[in-house]
Structure 1
Amino acid sequence: MVILAIGGVGRPVRALDPGEDETWVTVEQLERVLDAVTGREDVRLTFDDGNSSDVEIALPRLVERDLTAEFFPLAGRIGQRGFIDAAGLRRLVEAGMSIGSHGWEHHDWRRLDGRLARRELEAAPKLLAELSGKPVQAYAPPFGAYDRRLLSRLRRSGATRVYTTEGGLASRDGWLQPRTELRHDVDQEWIDAVLGERDGLYRRAGRFLSRVARLAQI
């Protein structure tokens, strides 16, 4: 299956981090992708960062298509301008969406130790669970970055699933899940190439199998 990673949608209402505009899509682009995945059991949707557009733009469009998604907010930015607040987090849960952790701020988890690591990997999911009323056990490391040390730590913390951004196929029940990012230039050609034909998904299975072989050494 394919798992899509979506950032912000529509016109930003805050200053974007450097390079963040690369993963910001228009409402029309999102709608075209959602139309393409409606009814597809071999595609999953995820949203990163906890932008206010998750609730204001994405949520109603997901609901009207009977789609669900997993949302990975930054716990440290809950309630800030341009980001989801506690009420929005509960709205997602009430609509049948799932909540995972993207950390506290947008840091590379491989490079953290001590207090900062505990804040990103422990305090963030705890706060998100308290605000949403649901356990938070899935993680999406910022930048999709991971290494053996980080994966070991996430396993010890009880992570049920970890999402990256390597692209390619994902195993439905895998613990480490590669995602394909939506970029600012997503168009119908991209949608057709990534999602258009189910047979096309399996022609890319070589990438997935090579990743499995590599991870077996971790």
Structure 2
Amino acid sequence: MYHRLASGDTSEGVQRRDPYLLAESAFEEQMQYLYRSGYSTMPLSDFVSYVNGKTVLPQKPVIITFDDGNRSDYVTAYPILRRFGFAATFFVTVGSVGSPESLSVEQIRDMSHSGMATESHSLTHPYLTKLNREGIERELGESKEILESKTGKAVHFLSIPNGTYNDTVKRVAKELGYLAILTSDLGINNAKSDLYSLRRIAIKNGISLPHFASLLKGQSMLRERCMQSLRDTVKITLGIENYVLIRRRLLH
């Protein structure tokens, strides 16, 4: 799971204290590693078919995802992905489309018609667990409808904004026609995975290539899970909004 990329060298534009801003050079190095190591990208729809027992996985499969719908998805990531023959799924915060730092409708259409998938990251990127059912339906339903109208393609997948979800979110997503939900929960998925709480691995700023490689193999997970557990404990103790506020202050 990626968020946004900084164009140019690592020394330019990358704030070391922002864990979700990755240097272009680091992303390219990681894609080159995947290519040379024989990994192949696969669409989420194929993974759903695999879980449902309708297909088999290719050797060394990987699903590349981007959250938020940042402009760097198109300007920086998209050309690199195409260079290596990879496809990715871009989860778009639909209400931000067209703003200066976000994807435009034209960019979304271009990627969608060139083998990339564009799916929902909600309408306004809220904490879904703080909304009532009507609010959740609006976030998931309207974002799906708008994105489908812009691309002319069905939207079947949801990435949870801010990482917070519950059973109500899962039920609403299923009722609205989503085939799977991708979370921020750390881990690797398999044939027994719950399609409405799929795990991912966040690739953050400063990760070394050996660490990246070990995560792909399911190694180095214990340390990462301990760190995530610690963050989750802090979020519960402080409250998610206070946690985010303090984190933003520390990053700036």
Structure 2 length-normalised TM: 0.70
Shift of 1:121: 1.0
Q: What is the alpha-carbon distance in structure 1 between the residues aligned to residue 112 and residue 5 of structure 2?
A: 20
Length, aligned pairs only: 191
Opposite residue 49 of structure 1, the aligned amino acid is: D
**Does the C-alpha gap of structure 1 residues 151 and 54 become closer, same or farther in structure 2, counting only changes over 3 Å?**
same
**Does the C-alpha gap of structure 1 residues 30 and 147 become closer, same or farther in structure 2, counting only changes over 3 Å?**
same
Query: Is the 1:9–1:58 Cα contact (8 Å) retained in structure 2?
Result: yes
> Which contiguous aligned blocks of 4+ residues in structure 1 show a shift greater than 6 angstroms?
202-205
Q: What is the alpha-carbon distance in structure 1 between the residues aligned to residue 219 and residue 6 of structure 2?
A: 32
**Of 210, 218, 223, which residue of structure 2 is paired with 1:201?**
218
Deviation per CA, 1:24-78: give whole Å up to 9, x if none. 1010111122112223142110011000111111111101100000110100000
**Of 99, 102, 107, which residue of structure 1 is paired with 2:118?**
99
Matches within 5 A, 1:1-218: 5-10=1-6, 21-38=18-35, 39-40=38-39, 41-113=60-132, 116-171=135-190, 174=193, 175=195, 176-195=197-216, 200-201=217-218
Q: Gaps (5+ residues) in structure 2?
A: 8-16, 40-59, 223-252
| Structure with more relative contact order (C-alpha pairs < 8 Å, separation 6 or more) | 1
Query: Is the 2:214–2:220 Cα contact (8 Å) retained in structure 1?
Result: no
Report which of the two structures shows the higher radius of gyration computed on alpha carbons. Answer: 2
Q: Gaps (5+ residues) in structure 1?
A: 12-19, 206-218
Q: What is the alpha-carbon distance in structure 2 between the residues aligned to residue 87 and residue 179 of structure 1?
A: 28
Equivalent residue for 1:16? none
Name which of structure 1's ranges 172-181 and 122-131 shifts more when overlaid on structure 2.
Answer: 172-181
Query: Is the 1:101–1:124 Cα contact (8 Å) retained in structure 2?
Result: yes
Q: What is the alpha-carbon distance in structure 2 between the residues aligned to residue 56 and residue 166 of structure 1?
A: 28
- The 3-state SS of whatever aligns with 2:90 is strand
% identical equivalent positions: 22
Opposite residue 33 of structure 1, the aligned amino acid is: Q
Shift of 1:21: 2.9
Deviation per CA, 1:176-196: give whole Å up to 9, x if none. 31011111222223213212x
Opposite residue 20 of structure 2, the aligned amino acid is: T
Shift of 1:202: 7.8
Query: Is the 2:28–2:80 Cα contact (8 Å) retained in structure 1?
Result: yes
Q: CA RMSD in A?
A: 2.4
Opposite residue 93 of structure 1, the aligned amino acid is: S
**Does the C-alpha gap of structure 1 residues 153 and 145 become closer, same or farther in structure 2, counting only changes over 3 Å?**
same
